């Protein structure tokens, strides 16, 4: 009996608790307060009264992707010596302009001058021997006609004369070689251009293949950029492309000179070389951007004067077909002045949402 009584008591406590909780919720909801009758709110919509309007336009936008690259010289060369000799003088420094054939450096030529003198003396000796052999040949020719000498003796003299003639020719070639080598003592500029770097000083030892100076032609520059494979398939040699030089705040029009037919394994990009016009202040190594067409897309454009910004929100007043004006929340993107602004004398922005093509909007003053 006591157990039954305990169960009933607990049930009664639970029911009372629920009732109290329900009363509290009704009180918070205003159930015990005085109710205020609601009255209908009169609303009115503004009508179009001749304010200036414009339309939302659907335009085709040219997409452009950029590829970064560097300015390099089409003509660039490392000047080196063709002989081993001590450097006596270097006539230019980095940044100096040079013309083709200018003497850039002078090497010690005493060893070459000595070899030239030896070759010249060897030629004199060979010519003397050849003269003596020719005189002997003429004398033996007369003796052969007189029957004083036999044919074998004549043939031997004639052979000696031919050998001396060959010795003269060999000595002449050796002298010419030493004279040519002597010209290597003056290192000349192979191209007209500008000195990029001076790598040696007087007193250093020059050796074949060792660079002494670096030259480039500043009138023949190009931009080399890595272009992803999805874009390079649409490019052809000879196509014009825009190039942006950030440092000079300059945009140029170049022409594709070469597309290297091999992709980089890591980036899947191709090296594209674009020739550039001659511009003052443009140097090798500068940063540039290659502007590559990437197709077209449709987008809505709205006159910027039609926008009303309230904090972070943007609103537009749309003129409906019945003349009523509806305020609408929109979301905009980037400016589109290059497509419509110059043509219509007004700036435009891209509409991402909130409007449809052809709708009429109010344009503020």
- Please list, in sequence order, all residues whose beta carbon lies within 8 angstroms of the beta carbon of residue 274, skipping any fewer than 6 positions away: 222, 223, 224, 225, 241, 243, 254, 255, 256, 257, 290
Q: What is the CATH number of the domain that holds 315?
A: 2.40.420.20
Distance CA 306, CA 322 (A): 20
Of the candidate ranges 268-272, 327-331, 332-336, 341-345, the one whose mean pLDDT is the lowest: 341-345
Q: What's the mean pLDDT when you consider all of the chain?
A: 83
Q: Where are the beta strands (DSSP E) in 46-190?
A: 53-55, 57-73, 76-80, 85-90, 97-98, 103-107, 186-188
Angle at 255 between CA 251 and CA 259, to 5 degrees: 120
Question: 304 and 275 share a domain?
Answer: no
Domain boundary residue, one of 294, 318, 350: 294
Instruction: Confirm whether 199 is domain-assigned.
Output: no
125-170, pLDDT tens digit by residue?
A: 888 888 888 888 888 888 877 877 788 888 888 888 888 889 889 9
pLDDT band at 344 (very low <50, low <70, confident <90, very high): very low
- Phi then psi for residue 253, to 5 deg, are -115, 115
Of 352, 218, 191, residue with least CA distance to 284: 218
Q: What is the CATH number of the domain that holds 273?
A: 2.40.30.170
What's residue 54's pLDDT? 86
Please state the separation of Cα 205 from the chain's center in Å: 37
Instruction: Confirm whether 344 is domain-assigned.
Output: yes
Q: Which class for 221: exposed (0-12), middle (13-18), buried (19 or more C-beta within 10 A)?
A: buried
Domain boundary residue, one of 278, 294, 310: 294
Structural domain including 263 reads 66-74+217-294
Q: 301, 359 in Cβ contact below 8 A? A: no
Domain boundary residue, one of 143, 160, 184: 184
Instruction: Confirm whether 134 is domain-assigned.
Output: yes
272-303, pLDDT tens digit by residue?
A: 999 999 888 888 889 999 999 887 778 888 88
Put simply, whether the predicted model's pTM sits higher than 0.75 gets the answer no
Of 290, 274, 292, residue with least CA distance to 234: 292
Instruction: Confirm whether 46 is domain-assigned.
Output: no
């Amino acid at each position: 009996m006591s157990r039954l009584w305990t169960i009933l008591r607990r049930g009664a406590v639970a029911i009372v608790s629920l009732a109290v909780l329900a009363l509290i919720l009704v009180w918070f909801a205003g159930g015990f307060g005085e109710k205020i009758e609601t009255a209908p709110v009169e609303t009115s919509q503004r009508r179009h009264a001749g304010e200036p309007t414009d339309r939302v336009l659907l335009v085709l936008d040219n997409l452009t992707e950029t590829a970064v690259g560097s300015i390099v010289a089409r003509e660039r060369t490392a000047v080196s010596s063709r002989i081993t000799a001590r450097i006596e003088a270097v006539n230019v420094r980095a940044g100096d302009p040079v013309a083709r054939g200018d003497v850039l450096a002078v090497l010690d030529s005493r060893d070459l001058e000595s070899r030239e003198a030896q070759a010249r003396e060897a030629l004199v000796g060979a010519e003397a021997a050849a003269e003596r052999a020719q005189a002997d040949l003429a004398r033996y020719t007369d003796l052969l006609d007189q029957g004083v000498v036999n044919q074998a003796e004549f043939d031997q003299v004639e052979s000696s004369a031919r050998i001396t003639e060959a010795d003269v020719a060999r000595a002449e070639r050796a002298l010419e070689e030493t004279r040519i080598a002597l010209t290597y003592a003056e290192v000349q500029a192979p191209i007209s251009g500008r000195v990029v770097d001076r790598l040696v000083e007087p007193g250093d030892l020059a050796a074949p293949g060792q660079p002494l100076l670096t030259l480039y032609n500043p009138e023949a520059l190009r931009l080399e950029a890595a272009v992803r494979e999805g874009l390079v398939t649409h490019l052809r040699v000879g196509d014009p492309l825009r190039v942006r030089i950030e440092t000079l705040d300059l945009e140029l029009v170049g022409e594709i000179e070469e597309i290297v037919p091999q992709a980089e394994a890591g980036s899947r990009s191709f090296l594209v070389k674009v020739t550039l016009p001659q511009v003052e202040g443009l140097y090798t190594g500068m940063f540039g951007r290659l502007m590559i067409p990437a197709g077209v897309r449709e987008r809505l454009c709205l006159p910027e004067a039609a926008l009303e910004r309230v904090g972070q929100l943007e609103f537009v007043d749309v003129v409906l077909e019945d003349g009523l004006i509806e305020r609408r929340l929109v979301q905009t993107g980037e400016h589109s002045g290059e497509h419509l602004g110059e043509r219509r004398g007004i700036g435009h922005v891209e509409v991402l949402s909130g409007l449809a093509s052809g709708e009429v909007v109010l344009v503020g003053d």
